[in-house]
Amino acid sequence: MRGLWVKDLLLLQKQLKTFLMFVLIAAFNAYTIKSVPVIFIMMAFFFVTTSASTIFYDQENHGFLYLFTLPTRKKDYVIQKLLLVLVSSLVAVGLSFVLIFLMMQFDPELQTSGQDLLYSALYSFFFGCFYGSIITPLYLRYGTEKARVFIFAIMGTLAMGIILIEKTGVLDGIAGSDFMASVASLNSLQITGLTLALSIAMLGVSTIVSRRFIEKSVAF
């Protein structure tokens, strides 16, 4: 599995300029709308998307046929890709903290409490793992081009669902439920543990699905 990490790091190193450009874009958007969570979400989205794109390079020119003739098991390949999603989400959170700290020195309007920073970081980490858990098996099963169509369809469906739920007033009922009252009573440590547990569970399910998909897409 070490060779897979070296391969992906070399691929990602070539996109360093793109990374820096996106960091500037995230900072500009946050500065424009005065929103700290924007940095966390944009960084998580970009880092996970870029990391998952390594699958495209592996598939290009029938690369899987070559890759799996080496002493590389499909199981190890899938596990490494989901671990890469996890690491990318953590790196995105870490760099977001650094960027936000620097921006706070120049813009007092971006000052925020430690608790709000923590919750923004947890939300972006969860989002990164959730997003990566969806796109990784889709990339492995359908390839990056077809997978993008599915991803847009899923995101569109989720957006429409949220709008409909909001319009019908279902959210008000959920917000006033005993379950949400229990969640609201959790302290920061408990929320952190719950977020990490859910994120790892999603990655675990995605690993199982991805292993089945890669067996179908690379049959030999």
pLDDT of residue 182: 65
pLDDT of residue 218: 61
Polymer length of the chain: 220
Running DSSP on this structure, what letter comes out for residue 60? G
pLDDT tens figures, 73-124: 788 888 999 999 999 999 999 988 888 888 877 777 777 777 888 888 898 9
What contacts 194, CB < 8 A, 6 or more positions away? 186
- Give the integer Cα–Cα distance in Å for 103 and 80: 34
Centroid of chain to Cα 29: 19
Provide the percentage of residues in the chain whose pLDDT is more than 90.
17
Every domain of the chain and the residues it spans: 2-217
pLDDT of residue 133: 92
Residue whose C-alpha is closest to residue 89's, from 52, 34, 141: 52
Structure tokens belonging to residue 50: 């870029």
pLDDT tens figures, 110-148: 777 778 888 888 989 999 999 999 989 988 888 777 777
Task: Specify the pTM.
Answer: 0.81
- Arithmetic mean of pLDDT over the chain: 79
pLDDT tens figures, 47-60: 998 888 888 877 77
pLDDT of residue 142: 80
